[in-house]
């Protein structure tokens, strides 16, 4: 019965979304208007206490009641749930005010955690769906199989920022999306922040890949770029929110994020594997006695600047950036720019620790060749059945997000191996995986062993993909690169 479900949602909002009692009738009427209802038989009668802390079950019941009454069709359910939850939530201004108050009284970590929780309770962050994604550690990396988000194989789309036909909002991360029904963003709430003296905002990702995964976005719809100011803005962010890391994707096709048309950074509350990596070499310069640059013990090419001085980080970071974007070594396939455009870019990412700022700079190149049309420094074709999408900042830091289809495909292969059956024609793309897992386990019917071997195999492949992305395959080449900037062992 539809009224009962609406009343249950109102009670849920009073308990979890800070809906004031004073607004309950008003909000209920807004929901009635949305659904074209005009006769209300009671005032919450029959609804007991609502104990739910997330809205999924209540929304399921609401959708069932609405579709049974013919108020909307099952494929409109997502839009209607978004609209109803949007009505139940606080306004953006109220959310910002509570956030600021918590930050003053309890600190930034408590404020962020409240805001994350609010985004989950408001159903913007689909945590229940995300928690169902398989996730495991393997070979020093973290691997998740993402069942919530469609595979994103066309890097061209990233350039346009997935813009819609009407041109409003300009792209799917513009601030104007807050509350925009056209993209089912009625439940989006953002927090204003200042980075490098400019207005930016922070929001959580509905497809969060790790703990409290979000994006910091420029208020202005301006393309991704990286310059000295980027280091400043990243450090401003971790000064404000020291519990989070924040990084910027390389602003180029094929090696960057899925939205290049709008300047933004990615961050969140989890320390990713790369942040924990040790150093193969530690370099110093007499010009910067209080800083070190580490060549990371990591399959990609990464330099980590460690210093308590913001100025050191900015200057060293900028010198690495400037050198890399002009760097050429044809023998290694590194060409900074040609008739196809710019190919070299950095991807910086920072955490704050007891050592000060740890600004890691990942050297990237998106150059292609006849042999590697998707990129010389991209996952090579033998691994495309596992990962063909861009290796962006998150993967480069050791958290791999693999396409949802793999759960079924790899599941089938595990069964075949346990049953001692050969690989059928339809799964020939996975010959490498099949052969390697068989090599790891021999002949066994123990599914547990096969599954464990499959996870190890995925870890090995993801490490090999990161090695593909390394612009210097030998760490001594990375040292030589830094020698030119006055840093030595």
Binding residues (CB under 5 A) for Zn ion: these are: 170-171, 174, 221, 262
What is the token pair recorded at 91?
């306004």
Helix, strand, or coil (residue 135): strand
Element spanning 130, H or E: helix 127-130
Closer CB to Zn ion, 102 or 262, in the complex? 262
Phi, psi of 3 (to 5 degrees): -65, -35
Ramachandran region of residue 356, left (φ > 0), alpha (ψ -120 to 50) or beta? left
Closer CB to Zn ion, 262 or 321, in the complex? 262
Element spanning 412, H or E: helix 405-418
Contact 399, 144 (CB under 8 A): yes
CA distance 252 to 140: 27
Helix, strand, or coil (residue 243): coil
Closer CB to Zn ion, 186 or 221, in the complex? 221
Closer CB to Zn ion, 162 or 477, in the complex? 162
Block residue for tokens 């979304």: 17
For residue 268, the minimal CB distance to Zn ion (Å) is 21
Closer CB to Zn ion, 9 or 259, in the complex? 259
Closer CB to Zn ion, 163 or 347, in the complex? 163
What is the token pair recorded at 477?
């080449």
Closer CB to Zn ion, 149 or 221, in the complex? 221
CA distance 193 to 191: 6
For residue 222, the minimal CB distance to Zn ion (Å) is 8
* Cα distances (Å, whole numbers) of residue 216 to 112, 223, 401: 13, 14, 20
For residue 185, the minimal CB distance to Zn ion (Å) is 13
For residue 251, the minimal CB distance to Zn ion (Å) is 14
CA distance 361 to 247: 9
What is the token pair recorded at 196?
């490098």
For residue 168, the minimal CB distance to Zn ion (Å) is 11
For residue 217, the minimal CB distance to Zn ion (Å) is 8
Helix, strand, or coil (residue 389): coil
For residue 159, the minimal CB distance to Zn ion (Å) is 13
For residue 171, the minimal CB distance to Zn ion (Å) is 3
Closer CB to Zn ion, 213 or 262, in the complex? 262
Number of C-beta neighbours around residue 149 at 10 A: 18
Strands, sheet with 399-403, edge to edge from the N-terminal-most edge strand: 135-138, 141-146, 399-403
């Amino acid at each position: 019965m539809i009224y009962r479900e609406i009343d249950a949602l109102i009670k849920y909002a009073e308990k979890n979304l800070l809906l004031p009692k004073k607004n309950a009738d008003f909000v209920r009427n807004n929901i009635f208007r949305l659904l074209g209802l005009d006769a209300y038989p009671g005032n919450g009668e029959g609804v007991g206490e609502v104990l739910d802390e997330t809205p999924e079950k209540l929304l399921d019941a609401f959708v069932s009641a609405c579709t049974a009454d013919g108020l909307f069709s099952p494929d409109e359910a997502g839009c209607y749930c978004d609209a109803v939850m949007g009505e139940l939530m606080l306004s953006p201004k109220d959310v910002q005010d509570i956030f600021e108050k918590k930050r003053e009284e309890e600190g930034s970590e408590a404020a962020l955690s409240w805001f994350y929780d609010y985004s989950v309770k408001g159903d913007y962050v689909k945590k229940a769906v995300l928690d169902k994604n398989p996730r495991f550690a393997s070979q020093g990396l973290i691997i998740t199989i993402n069942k919530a988000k469609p595979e994103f194989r066309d890097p061209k789309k990233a350039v346009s920022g997935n813009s819609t036909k009407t041109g409003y909002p300009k792209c799917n991360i513009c601030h104007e999306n807050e509350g925009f029904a056209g993209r089912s963003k009625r439940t989006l709430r953002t927090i204003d922040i200042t980075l490098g003296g400019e207005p930016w905002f922070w929001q959580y990702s509905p497809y969060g890949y790790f703990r409290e995964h979000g994006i910091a976005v420029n208020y202005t719809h301006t393309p991704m770029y990286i310059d000295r100011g980027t280091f400043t803005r990243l450090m401003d962010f971790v000064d404000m929110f020291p519990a989070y890391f924040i990084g910027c994707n390389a602003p180029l096709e094929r090696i960057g994020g899925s939205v290049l048309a709008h300047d933004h950074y990615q961050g969140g509350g989890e320390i990713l594997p790369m942040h924990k990596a040790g150093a193969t070499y530690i370099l110093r310069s007499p010009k910067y006695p209080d800083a070190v640059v580490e060549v990371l013990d990591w399959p990609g090419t990464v330099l980590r600047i460690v210093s308590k001085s913001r100025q050191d980080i900015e200057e060293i970071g900028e010198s690495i950036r400037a050198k890399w974007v002009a760097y050429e070594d044809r023998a290694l396939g590194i060409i900074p720019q040609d008739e196809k455009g710019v190919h070299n870019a950095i991807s910086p990412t920072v955490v704050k620790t007891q050592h000060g700022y740890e600004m890691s700079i990942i050297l990237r190149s998106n150059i292609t060749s006849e042999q590697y049309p998707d990129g010389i420094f991209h996952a090579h074709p033998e691994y495309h059945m596992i990962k063909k999408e861009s290796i962006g900042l998150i993967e480069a830091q050791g958290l791999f997000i693999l396409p949802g289809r793999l759960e079924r495909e790899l599941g089938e292969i595990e069964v075949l191996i346990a049953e001692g059956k050969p690989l059928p024609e339809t799964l020939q793309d996975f010959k490498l995986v099949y052969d390697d897992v068989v090599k790891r386990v021999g002949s066994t019917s123990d599914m547990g062993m096969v599954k464990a071997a499959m996870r190890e195999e995925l870890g090995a492949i993801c490490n090999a993909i990161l090695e593909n992305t390394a612009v210097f395959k030998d760490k001594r080449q990375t040292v030589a690169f830094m020698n030119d900037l006055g840093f030595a062992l």
